[in-house]
A and B are shown apart, each in its own frame.
Chain A
């Protein structure tokens, strides 16, 4: 097990280094003079020179790369030329909002998706199955931001006519600004619970509902599909027939034999969804005006703030790699057979 962990961690290093090189090349491949792009139309030669000096754009490429690498290794990712804020600090400050949203989306997708997939498999071919397969198709084919707009329109902004009564949820933000909440961790729901400000925790949770459903539609589709396929496979296994034959209670068979075996591939898929969740957050957060890394990336993309883009893509890749490492480790815990291999 330990060797397995060490090998997995070592394998991450070349990938991350390669990504660093790729991002470095990418920023230099951007069209136009970076300093000019930064300062816009009103740039004077003097201001361009000062920006070049500040960011080292006028150094030879090798020199630039060495500076870049040594700064990265020290955890220094530079400042955003647009806002002047350090990239790393901005990321850390905004990360809890995105993390909270991603966790809420995953909870929604898992809590709805696994039972839906399970019941679809139990009654394969029935109306429940059709409904589950339909749901998962809808999650794949409806663009996230279109779904986000519709949820917002129906449940927050309000449709004209009698359906207006459905609009009971907040349309944007993370918390009602009129609530005087204390923030310790920047995870608003958690903060509310820690400080026992129940109304703050409740308000933050209510704000999460619509964005979480919109963002959760991506993993929901895949979780339903994987659970269904996997449960159908397991239900035809000999050990399930044996368990039935020896008269075990249905709930025991479900819990101990079917779900435990069927959920293994589902967990891997959940891990692989991290990337999609973080990318989907770019779209969801800007629809619901949530100040996470997604909406910051959105601004960085529209203003071509490549210092921020470069840093954020690297962080997202690291998070993605770490989550998948944890998924692999969780595998070892859930499936004892893998520990000895």
Chain B
């Protein structure tokens, strides 16, 4: 240790400081994971999501009966639907099937529609975003004007317009919900890529003589994905709700044999006064699912945000 070092020692410590033990040498994602584990709402959110996935996967084992069996239809009268009884812990639905079974199978439907439609949105949005943010110039202008046009239609109406063209079927619902999210993902990825393009590592890569395509696909894109992943988690919540809205508008799942929470809510409205259970239970399932994805998504956003990393 030289005299100069001794002089600078304490100042050095104070000014630069050492990174806190747990932040040293960690990647962005590992740091984010650590922050997630400490965040109670992330834990609640992921517990809900994991439960939902388990329920959906294990539906045939968990459900007491066959879905949409209408086995007890003779017990349903125009005036009343049998409520909870020993054989049916949550009662029957208005089609004479077991409510609990329908709710469990509904989780499957929600998860499948949510994941597939979010993937459609992410892939479509990422393709447009990479075109705009990676190529720049005319591509950027053209793609972003197109995105502006799509954004000028409220996303529910956009989904409705697409569903109306495709007719009522499973794929139409997923494509409609997913495609309505494409402009949001595209704009998000483009913004994130433009921010990354000004970073030093891009300059370094291009001065090393890397080709433009390799810089964009190999460096800029992977570093820009954070906001996209957060948004995807939040869109899973939106998708759950939009499925129900499409059902309400008569553009939902047409096959009555497929249990779907949105349609259950809509069908329950006829008996709202005499039997609110028929609306409340599926509504509650949707709300809890949306809550799980939202809590997890918000926590992920916070964990990846450099401002909250202290």
CB of B290 closer than 8 Å to a CB of A: yes
CB of B31 closer than 8 Å to a CB of A: no
Are B279 and A149 closer than 8 Å at their CB atoms?
A: yes
CA distance A145 to B290 in the complex (A): 15
Interface of B is mostly: helix
| Residue from B154, B160, B167 in contact with A275 in the complex, judged by beta carbons closer than 8 Å | B154
With a cutoff of 8 Å between Cβ atoms, the chain B residues found around residue A158 in the complex are 273
Kindly name the residue among A152, A282, A302 whose own CB sees the greatest number of chain B CB atoms within 10 A.
A282
CB of A269 closer than 8 Å to a CB of B: no
Which stretch, A56-64, A193-201, A314-322, touches the partner chain B? Answer: A314-322
With a cutoff of 8 Å between Cβ atoms, the chain B residues found around residue A29 in the complex are 165
| Residue from A15, A142, A146 in contact with B279 in the complex, judged by beta carbons closer than 8 Å | A146
| Residue from B164, B167, B245 in contact with A309 in the complex, judged by beta carbons closer than 8 Å | B164
With both beta carbons as reference points, the residue of chain A lying nearest to B276 in the complex is identified as A153
Are A313 and B294 closer than 8 Å at their CB atoms?
A: no
CB of B8 closer than 8 Å to a CB of A: no
With both beta carbons as reference points, the residue of chain B lying nearest to A133 in the complex is identified as B41
CA distance A39 to B31 in the complex (A): 62
CB of A157 closer than 8 Å to a CB of B: yes
| Residue from A143, A276, A313 in contact with B161 in the complex, judged by beta carbons closer than 8 Å | A313
Interface of A is mostly: helix
CB of A22 closer than 8 Å to a CB of B: yes
Kindly name the residue among B149, B155, B160, B165 whose own CB sees the greatest number of chain A CB atoms within 10 A.
B149
Name 23 A/B residue pairs within 8 A (Cβ), A-sorted. Answer: A15-B148, A16-B152, A18-B146, A18-B148, A18-B149, A19-B152, A22-B149, A137-B295, A141-B291, A142-B290, A143-B286, A145-B245, A149-B279, A153-B273, A159-B276, A275-B153, A279-B154, A279-B155, A282-B157, A282-B249, A283-B249, A313-B153, A313-B161
Q: How many residues belonging to A are interface residues under a CB distance threshold of 8 Å?
A: 44
With a cutoff of 8 Å between Cβ atoms, the chain A residues found around residue B165 in the complex are 26, 29-31
| Residue from A16, A142, A143, A153 in contact with B245 in the complex, judged by beta carbons closer than 8 Å | A143
Are B272 and A19 closer than 8 Å at their CB atoms?
A: no
Cβ-closest 5 pairs across A and B: A279-B154, A141-B290, A275-B154, A279-B156, A18-B149
CB of B251 closer than 8 Å to a CB of A: yes
The proximity string for A residues 12-46 relative to B, scoring 1 for CB distances below 8 Å and 0 otherwise, is 00111011001000100111000000000000000
**Given A137-B291, A143-B244, also A302-B154 (CB < 8 A):** no
| Residue from B161, B241, B250, B269 in contact with A141 in the complex, judged by beta carbons closer than 8 Å | B241
Are B287 and A141 closer than 8 Å at their CB atoms?
A: yes
With a cutoff of 8 Å between Cβ atoms, the chain B residues found around residue A280 in the complex are 156
With a cutoff of 8 Å between Cβ atoms, the chain A residues found around residue B251 in the complex are 301
Q: A15-B145, A146-B244 are in contact. List 20 more A-B contacts (CB 8 A).
A: A14-B145, A19-B149, A19-B152, A29-B165, A140-B237, A141-B294, A143-B265, A143-B283, A143-B286, A145-B248, A146-B279, A146-B283, A146-B286, A275-B152, A297-B157, A301-B249, A301-B251, A309-B164, A316-B154, A320-B154
The proximity string for A residues 154-170 relative to B, scoring 1 for CB distances below 8 Å and 0 otherwise, is 00011100000000000
CA distance A111 to B155 in the complex (A): 26
With a cutoff of 8 Å between Cβ atoms, the chain A residues found around residue B295 in the complex are 137
With a cutoff of 8 Å between Cβ atoms, the chain A residues found around residue B237 in the complex are 140-141
Are B164 and A157 closer than 8 Å at their CB atoms?
A: no
Q: What distance in Å separates the Cβ of A220 from its nearest Cβ neighbour in chain B?
A: 15
With a cutoff of 8 Å between Cβ atoms, the chain A residues found around residue B250 in the complex are 301-302
Q: What distance in Å separates the Cβ of B228 from its nearest Cβ neighbour in chain A?
A: 20
List B residues 274-298 near A (Cβ within 8 Å): 276, 279-280, 283, 286-287, 290-291, 294-295
Are B161 and A146 closer than 8 Å at their CB atoms?
A: no
